[in-house]
Structure 1
């Protein structure tokens, strides 16, 4: 694992989450990938090189561990305790967020458009 450079806001919380994850993304398939090549867990490490999706250095995020909680407003997500957070690489985080939004839209009841009600 390479040097961990924390983000400025919430550095202590981020350090704790990334340390508990051993500097590795904790996604186990919420992003839609099986991660079978890396033992059913994403193999990206903080500070490592990302060969796909634009390349560059991987910078882990501390975000809600439960994909449904990724939809929380920022002020509620920031209030979550450490044990409710996980380390995510940006690729897995974005894919899990997209999947959570899609699931929320599918679960929402369809409302008629009031503009065209007669």
Structure 2
């Protein structure tokens, strides 16, 4: 399995992928239970997806906490190595969407602006 590091942060990315043994660390936050694979996503860096034509999988180093996936880029870049996990793009995107949906659902409803004071 060849690991081609990203252009920036290669040492950090290598450390996260080594700690994850080159496998996605999602344990169901993406909405899939991954039961067939011991509760952890089977995607391996450099491996191929379940469907024909998906191409090789390139794992990402991103915050392990789903809520931290919603941080702006400048804050996400400051997340310490211990708080990072390896994610396949499918699990990363699905977990991020689920976190955004949960955040939106828990946000208080905004009151409409009144045009005229009564």
Normalised-by-shorter TM-score class = over 0.9
1:56 CA drift (Å): 1.1
User: Does the C-alpha gap of structure 1 residues 89 and 115 become closer, same or farther in structure 2, counting only changes over 3 Å?
Assistant: farther
What residue number does 1:4 align with? 3
User: Tell me, what secondary structure is at the counterpart of 1:98?
Assistant: helix
- Between the aligned partners of 1:95 and 1:16, the Cα distance in structure 2 is 24
Which structure's CA Rg is the greater one? 2
Query: Which ranges of structure 1 fall in alignment gaps of 5 or more residues?
Result: none
What CA distance in whole angstroms lies between the structure 2 residues aligned with 1:9 and 1:26? 21
Distance 1:32 1:22 in 2: 22
Q: TM-score if structure 1 supplies the norm length?
A: 0.93
Give the whole-Å Cα distance in 1 for the aligned partners of 2:19 and 2:5: 14
The superposition leaves residues 38-81 of structure 1 with CA deviations (integer Å, 9 ceiling, x where unpaired) of 11000000000112396111000000000011011111111111
Q: CA deviation at 1:110?
A: 0.3
Unaligned runs of 5+ in 2: none
Specify the SS of the correspondent of 2:82. helix
Distance in 1 of aligned mates of 2:13 and 2:71: 18
